[in-house]
Structure formats: structure tokens, C-alpha cells
Structure 1
Amino acid sequence: MNTAVDSVESADGRNTRWEQHRLQRRADLIRGARRAVHDLGPQASMDEIAAHAGTSKSVFYRYFGDKNGLQVAVGQRAIEFMERELMSAAETSDNPLDGLYSMVSVYLRLAESSPHVYAFSTRLPAGPDGQPAAMADFFDRIASVIDVHFREYLHQQQRSPSPASATWYWPRAAIGMVRSAGETWLASPPNERPAADRLARKITAWLTIGLTGSYAKVPDPS
């Protein structure tokens, strides 16, 4: 019997089980922190988050370093979930315009479902370039998806802008409008804002036909 080999395999097994336990514990802490932020708000302290999660602040520090580290972990998990839902909305739509509306609608509904977690997740610590890496990567991927659908729409319309055309900035401009309008909407009192579906349709119209047709023509008093 090779005791040396058995000893190494036993140690590897223990290390694997410990790593699995550590990853599971980390995932549980992220879920607990998310629930705490959902209930208490994005300004919740580490003490408040730990108490709400039923553990100690030192445990959170052990796994995440500090509140910034915890915020990044919660933010990345929330962004990954939002990205999956947005991609699904785009992939299951019948045409580019329906896909755009579906993505805007999903974005608004997810943000509205937990505005505290949305605020906590999107206001991540900035990187060297001033933009949180997780958010920058997220918007890059979403812009790429929108760009594909946008090119499909242009093809359907038999339009072929030149490589130097300003038209190609539309996907990024669309993201900026959706995020800005959505966050302003989210900050408004619930009784003073339109339903998510109505705003999604309005934003889609703004992005595709502008203000034309958004309002009835004002009658000429003369």
C-alpha cells in the first residue's frame, strides 16, 4: 500500500471539500447581504448587514475584505443575473424592435423589483479609469448585443450607412438614454411615475422614431 500517495490524495480531497465549502459560504453571505440591502437600503453599514444576515461583521471581512469588496461581490452577482435576463429577452424576440422593447422592459422591471440592491450594485467603487470594471464590461456586452440587432434592423430597412456615419453610435446612445431615464424614473415617488411597461414603450419609441408621434398635435387656436 502506497501510504504517500494515499496521504496526498487524502489531502487533495480535504482541500477540494474545503474550497467547495468556502465557495458555498461566500455565496450564502452574498445572498444574505443582498437581502439586507433590499430591506435596509444601500447605505446599510457592515454591522447592520451582518446582523441582518445573522452572522458577525468579522465573517464578512474575512471573505470580502471590506464593504467595498462586499459591494463588488453583490454587484457582480446582480449584474450577472440582469445580463442573463436581458440576453434572454433579446434572443426570444421576433424582431429587432421587439427585442429592444423587451430589453428595456426587463431592465426597468428588475431595477424596480429591488431599487436598493440596484443602487448598491451599480454604484460600485471606481477603477483606475473612473468607471467600475464590472459595469463597464456589462455595458460593453449589452452594447454588442444591441449593435447586432441594430445592424439587422438596418439591413431590413435596406440602409447601409458608411463606416464613418454617426449612425453607429446609436447602440451606445441607446444605453445612455435607457439608464439615465430608468434611474430618474426609479428615483421618482411610485405614485408619480408611469408603470414600467408604459415607460419601456415610450423609451423604445423615443429611440426609434424620436418625439414624432409621442404627443398629439396641439390644435391651432386660430
Structure 2
Amino acid sequence: MEGMGDRVKHGDGKRAGEQRAGDARRDRWRKHRIARRAEFVEAALRAVDEHGPDLGMDDVASAAGVTKPVLYRHFEDKADLYLALGQRGTEMLFERLIPAINAELAPVPRIRMALDAFFTVIEQHPNLYRLLSRKSFADRPVDADVVAEDKEVIATALTALLGDYMRMLNMDSGAAEPWAHGIVGMVQNTGEWWIDKRTMSRDSVVEYLTQIIWAAIDGLTRQHGVVLDPDKPLEANKVVRLSPQRRADTTPQAEPGGAS
């Protein structure tokens, strides 16, 4: 006969197996919901591109091929979908911007590449940028300011990058922070003007901004007796890490581097 100890062991083993199976099911369900939510965000992006920043949940549901109740199983409300769209927009921007900012290029080509990354994204998705800039979804205001958050992340990273270069050139790095915020603000304001007016090509606006930013850098460095070749890479390539995740503890760092 089976002893009590054996029965206890078998019972414990059965419960452990059931728990593992339950954990596996929950993990599969969680992954399914994450994937399904991502599909709906892409559908929302298509709907924004088609209908503009005044789109509603009906437009998103139609683009996704589902009903609104199905959408609301994956998003708490319109604000939740707005934030998911903002996160997707940030990912698209940073996918282009990070390699551009960290490119081992001469100063002017590096500036040009970073600007082109930004203007390419807003050119491809102007309605998404308009939606995020006005902080509302289907005429409903939201508490988050996605564009402002992205500006702060980029400006913080640019501050670290400029500060490293200024210290390398024996210059006062205290100017790095206002410089960074000034550059980011100028680029954003120009971008908002450009997607509405389109009085020039993307290449033209990128080139004008490139020359403006380089003229400021060249002027400041010359004041300190430093003459940089705009078409020659600097001796040390400083890089930054930009995270598209919006977290309070995310601080960009500069480093020396070469269900249905």
C-alpha cells in the first residue's frame, strides 16, 4: 500500500504541476494581450494618418477590423490609447534619432543626420504629431504631454553630449544645458511650422537648420580659440543612450565611445 508520505509527495507534485501549467497559461495570455494591444496601436496609427487628429474610437475600431467593445478590453479609455500612440511615436522617433545622434561623423553631417531623422518621422506621420502636440484624443483632453516629455528626454541627452564635448575642448560646460534646450525648442517649433505650411522641402528645412546650429557652435568655439573642421570627425566620439520608455528614473547618460 502507498504510505501517507508517498501520498503527500504525489499530492504536492500534482499541485506543483498544476501551478506550472496555470503559470504557463497566464504567461501565454499575457503575451497574447500584449501582441493584440500592439496590433491595435498600429491600427490606431493608420487611422490617425487617414482621419487626422480628430479621429474617434470608431475610426480605430474600423481600422483594426473589430468593434469598440473589443478595443476597450485592451485600453482603459481614450487617454490610454492616446498614451499608447505617444509611446509608439516616441519609439519611431528614437529608432531614427539614436543612430543619427551617435553617428561617428563630422560635426555638420552628424547634425544634418539627426535633424533629418526628426523631420522624416513628422513628415511620414504629421497627423500623429498634431494629435500628440495638442494633448487631446477625440476632443477629450488628456493629462499627459507626450511631446514635452520627449523634448525633455532629448534635451537632457543633448546636454550630456554637448557637456562632454565642451569639457573635452576645455570650455565652460555650464552652457550645455541652455544650449540643448534652445536647440530642441527651435527644432520643435520649426517642425510645427513646417508640417502646417510646407513652404519648402524636407531637405531644405533640414539644411537651413543645420547651418544655423553649426554657425552657433562654430561661433562659440572660435570665441574660445578653438577652430573645428565641420567636415572632419572629432578625435573622440561621444555617444548618448536615449530610452523611449517614459519613467521617472530614466536619465540619459553620455558615454565616451568610438485577446481579441
Aligned to 2:244: none
The SS at the match of 1:44 is coil
Q: TM-score, normalised by structure 1?
A: 0.80
Q: Which runs of 5+ in 1 are unaligned?
A: 211-222
Match of 1:213 in 2: none
Match runs of 1:39-118 below 5 Å: 39-118=50-129
Aligned match for 1:198, one of 181, 201, 204: 204
TM-score (norm. length: structure 2): 0.69
The alpha-carbon deviation at position 120 of structure 1 amounts to: 2.3
Give distance in 1, aligned partners of 2:200 and 2:167. Answer: 34
Deviation per residue, 1:129-173 (Å, 9 max, x gap):
xx62x43442233113322443355457x451374x5x6411100
Q: 1:135 aligns with which of 147, 156, 177?
A: 147
Alpha-carbon separation, structure 2, partners of 1:196 and 1:123: 23
- Seen in structure 2, the aligned counterparts of structure 1 residues 72 and 123 have a Cα distance that, compared at 3 Å, is farther
CA contact (8 A) 2:166 2:173 kept: no
Partner Cα separation in structure 1 for residue 142 and residue 179 of structure 2: 25
Higher RCO (C-alpha 8 Å, min separation 6):
2
Name the residue aligned to 2:222. none
Cα–Cα, structure 1 residues 153 and 8, in superposed 2: closer, same or farther, change >3 Å? closer
Q: For 1:197 and 1:63, how far apart are their aligned partners in 2?
A: 40
Q: 1:109 is aligned with what amino acid?
A: T
- Other structure's SS at 2:115 match: helix
Per the alignment, in what secondary structure is the counterpart of residue 55 of structure 2? coil
1:208 is aligned with what amino acid?
A: W
Conserved? CA contact 2:163–2:173, under 8 Å: no
Q: State which of 16, 21, 42 in structure 2 corresponds to 1:10.
A: 21
2:223 maps to which residue? Answer: none
Say whether the 8 Å CA contact 2:48–2:128 is kept in structure 1: yes
Aligned residues: 200
Structure-1 separation of matches of 2:34 and 2:177: 42
Equivalent residue, structure 2, for 1:169: 178
Which structure's residues are more often helix, by fraction?
1
Report the Cα offset of residue 62 of structure 1: 2.0
Residue 203 (structure 1) shift: 1.1
5+ residue gaps, structure 2, are 1-9, 136-140, 217-260
Larger-Rg structure = 2
Letter in 1 for 2:214: T
Structure 2 CA distance for aligned equivalents of residues 111 and 194 of structure 1? 14
Q: Is 1:147 matched with 2:159?
A: yes
Query: Structure 1 residues 97, 149: CA separation in 2 closer, same or farther (over 3 Å shift)?
Result: farther
Structure 2 vs 1, CA of residues 145 and 101 (structure 1 numbering), >3 Å: closer, same or farther?
farther
Contact 1:96–1:150, Cα closer than 8 Å, also in 2? no
Let me know the Cα RMSD of the aligned residues.
2.2
| Runs of 4+ in structure 1 over 4 Å off | none
Q: Distance in 2 between matches of 1:96 and 1:152?
A: 14
